[in-house]
Structure 1
């Protein structure tokens, strides 16, 4: 038998220490006691409570895309949009009436939810010269229609097939299979409301004599379409899990939901103790999401070193993937304050699509205050082939800032925004307009924070090579 030596004894001791858990264990979740590696009964109870909390936080961050669309559908149903051929649209354009995640005020939007379980294979004929997207109910990309789609803005017939469909597929359509029965359709017609009403939506079975598509103006309506930040968030997620095939969700996220009691085919009825834990988890998840949105730690989030302006879509992938890994923070950041998933947004091209930048802080890193006045300088020749805009949003709701002006924005298209002698544009934000600057001013709300989003429609090369950048917001001292 080989005798041990001090060296081998030390190595063994180090190995034992490496695989052992000391007692007590101090963590951000509290102190846990163990007896020679076995948790005490009191610690077991608190460890499982901590596990429920951690799984709840991760479930909030991971299932947010689905909850977002469940909440939006709920809002649409409250507006009476119940059928798959009812388009809610904004005439003349989106405004601050309701709670919608970061819409822009330059666009006539159309939007609806289609239920392929109800309709079977469904045909959509988008307007010509439009930008339209279909996302599944877990907020994943299905198709572009219009300019970014295979019809290239010339019009066409798109056929969407439900999960498991094995019937005949006729010719003459752009065909897409979707993993969920419910899908969200967003329509942006560059020709405004008349063009929007060219949209046609009908079951394939009715293609010979399509029923009329109904259009409902939802501009100015007071409705909430944003997911909850408390325990009811998990009720929203349970709704989608109950409706959609198990194959529609990846095993990892499905496992997280199962861990907190959301299981296909079973009612979601958590105990009062678990519901209280999930309520805390949702609030913590929302706080984490707000850090990811307003103060992201990814260095790629900033449009340029030293700038306070941030990018809305990190990683360049509409699937939030890089090197075979999911970009978890980027996905949560985007879905907490934005909607619409399409490759055209994730990877803008010179002269096409749109580019975005936003910030919740001024030049000194201070949170924007609706009681104060700020100045923003856009250097000469903003790199937008079509036009630029700046919209203001509420930091709590991530929706258009609600003021006396239903369009809290400035657009170069308007012709009213003045430029300086050197070609730059100075914009002002605050509760009252500076004298003589009314045309370049957007009002804010005392006592409420806010954030601006700069959009460049048809971004040009100076945006991509960062030779043109917006200035930081400068606080105007009283």
Structure 2
């Protein structure tokens, strides 16, 4: 391809025009540019050659698909949560799941605990508002189809404060009247996840608190308020099913399902734009051709690797709790929207959180002294090496441990981020375990490894040789010493 007598190979202009600007070198594109990711790019007087056009669009589509993998992770995670339960028979606005005998590794969830029961359900307002009646003390949150926070139900809601109440979840496209007597939550998506913890009152057993919850809970469409169908409660303990989003190219199919179902414009415009750039657009079929299938496979591999790098070996010093420890959290900045003090969104924190965890609410990142819970994550030992299931480690929690209610350790599989599969049902240990060895000052040492050290059976968490894992330390009712960092756990120290 040539342009008639206007430029030479080195971009010098023949017969300089009378009206000429002093063009900075930074505005001139050389005829040949070497790049790390696309190799040589060639141009003729600034116009890309056919080969460079192909390389450029391949790179753009790959880069946008990688960015969509990262920015769409929250959306895919919510889809997987709701879809996983639909696959085992859940109906929106009707079925309520309860882990009555707690969680174990047979259910694939992102970083659940095995100390307290989970209660959860799907709310779908596509056909109109949905009523949620709460008749006992709970702590609960509603997140939308893109895993954005909608509101708190129960103790954290100022209109409830643990007394209970009637909530009304209303979509933006609802045109009818809103009746009086409801705590109204407005939302711009159809599907939602309601996750609940029943509050156990003094003197109550776990079973009694769950019974009180069931007796006081109702969920139904507002249109059926005069004669609502009874809810169905399903015990999920021990059930094998998956609620975790894909990390291969099928990830993009999950995003497409959300975009097709939810109202137009309900998602973040930037994310929807990235989706559109690779062929995912509301109202249109998503049928990537052979070229795009290859790009999506590459992008998912890169996006998955980036998510694992961000979560398992963070490079941001601000996510670490202590300058001399390996413990960290993507919530360390204290914002459920991942916004820093300067108003910038921490993209890596958002990716790390949604790769690893579920449930978005301001309540979880801004606990008060003696209330709520805080979280610290360990993925490496004291020398920065990946935790190895065939090695025995010790972790010491100095006494007194600043947890007014209780504390717990949980171990999770590096592949799934769900409970590590072992012979221990709990997948961890907590301060309520009978027979645990505790020093006079409250110090506790816990051992992680394939076999318990002699005499430490009640202070031991099982791991599996050949399996990498990560650990989450939870403190319920954190005390001042945690907030001011005067208390800190030891790192994982290999036992010789």
TM-score of the superposition, structure 1-length normalised? 0.94
Distance 1:467 1:196 in 2: 39
Please say if residues 71 and 351 of structure 2, whose CA atoms lie closer than 8 Å, have aligned partners that are also in contact: yes
Secondary structure of the 1:111 match is strand
Q: Which has the higher helix share?
A: 1
> Given the superposition, is the C-alpha separation of residues 172 and 416 from structure 1 closer, same or farther in structure 2, using an over 3 Å criterion?
farther
Distance 2:242 2:255 in 1: 17
Residue 191 of structure 2 corresponds to residue 172 of structure 1? no
In structure 2, the partner of 1:84 is 93
Distance 2:50 2:387 in 1: 48
- Tell me which moved more, 187-196 or 100-109: 187-196
Residue 458 of structure 2 corresponds to residue 439 of structure 1? yes
- Tell me which moved more, 452-461 or 127-136: 127-136
In structure 1, the partner of 2:247 is 229
User: How many angstroms does 1:70 deviate by?
Assistant: 1.1
User: How many angstroms does 1:95 deviate by?
Assistant: 1.7
Distance 1:189 1:312 in 2: 26
Which whole-Å deviations, capped at 9, do the CAs of 1:360-386 have from their partners, x for residues lacking one? 000011100001100000000111111
- Select 1:194's aligned residue among 208, 211, 233: 211
User: How many angstroms does 1:40 deviate by?
Assistant: 2.0
Residue 320 of structure 2 corresponds to residue 302 of structure 1? yes
Residue 133 of structure 2 corresponds to residue 125 of structure 1? yes
Secondary structure of the 1:246 match is coil
Distance 1:199 1:96 in 2: 28
Distance 2:73 2:456 in 1: 41
Distance 2:329 2:21 in 1: 50
- Tell me which moved more, 411-420 or 286-295: 411-420
Which whole-Å deviations, capped at 9, do the CAs of 1:327-361 have from their partners, x for residues lacking one? 22111111001000000112222111100001100
In structure 2, the partner of 1:282 is 300
Residue 369 of structure 2 corresponds to residue 369 of structure 1? no
In structure 1, the partner of 2:15 is none
- Select 2:285's aligned residue among 235, 248, 267: 267
In structure 2, the partner of 1:3 is none
Distance 1:417 1:71 in 2: 37
Please say if residues 94 and 108 of structure 1, whose CA atoms lie closer than 8 Å, have aligned partners that are also in contact: yes
Q: List aligned pairs for 1:55-454, cutoff 5 A.
A: 55-118=64-127, 120-150=128-158, 151-191=160-200, 192=206, 193-197=210-214, 198-322=216-340, 323-454=342-473
Please say if residues 127 and 146 of structure 1, whose CA atoms lie closer than 8 Å, have aligned partners that are also in contact: no
**What 5-or-longer segments of structure 2 have no aligned partner?**
1-19, 201-205
Please say if residues 336 and 365 of structure 2, whose CA atoms lie closer than 8 Å, have aligned partners that are also in contact: yes
In structure 2, the partner of 1:9 is none
Secondary structure of the 1:330 match is helix
Distance 1:93 1:398 in 2: 18
TM-score of the superposition, structure 2-length normalised? 0.91
Distance 2:418 2:368 in 1: 27
Which whole-Å deviations, capped at 9, do the CAs of 1:223-255 have from their partners, x for residues lacking one? 111111111100000000001112211221111
Secondary structure of the 2:108 match is coil
Secondary structure of the 1:326 match is coil
User: How many angstroms does 1:14 deviate by?
Assistant: 8.8
Which whole-Å deviations, capped at 9, do the CAs of 1:285-331 have from their partners, x for residues lacking one? 11101111111122110011121001241432222223443322111
Secondary structure of the 1:414 match is coil
- Tell me which moved more, 373-382 or 309-318: 309-318
> Given the superposition, is the C-alpha separation of residues 417 and 14 from structure 1 closer, same or farther in structure 2, using an over 3 Å criterion?
farther
User: How many angstroms does 1:421 deviate by?
Assistant: 4.2
User: How many angstroms does 1:208 deviate by?
Assistant: 3.0
- Select 2:46's aligned residue among 22, 37, 43: 37
How many equivalent pairs are there?
465
Distance 1:127 1:42 in 2: 67
> Given the superposition, is the C-alpha separation of residues 29 and 310 from structure 1 closer, same or farther in structure 2, using an over 3 Å criterion?
farther
Secondary structure of the 1:284 match is helix
> Given the superposition, is the C-alpha separation of residues 225 and 29 from structure 1 closer, same or farther in structure 2, using an over 3 Å criterion?
farther
Please say if residues 391 and 450 of structure 2, whose CA atoms lie closer than 8 Å, have aligned partners that are also in contact: yes
Distance 1:111 1:14 in 2: 66
Residue 44 of structure 2 corresponds to residue 20 of structure 1? no
Distance 2:212 2:184 in 1: 23
Please say if residues 74 and 146 of structure 2, whose CA atoms lie closer than 8 Å, have aligned partners that are also in contact: yes
User: How many angstroms does 1:96 deviate by?
Assistant: 1.5
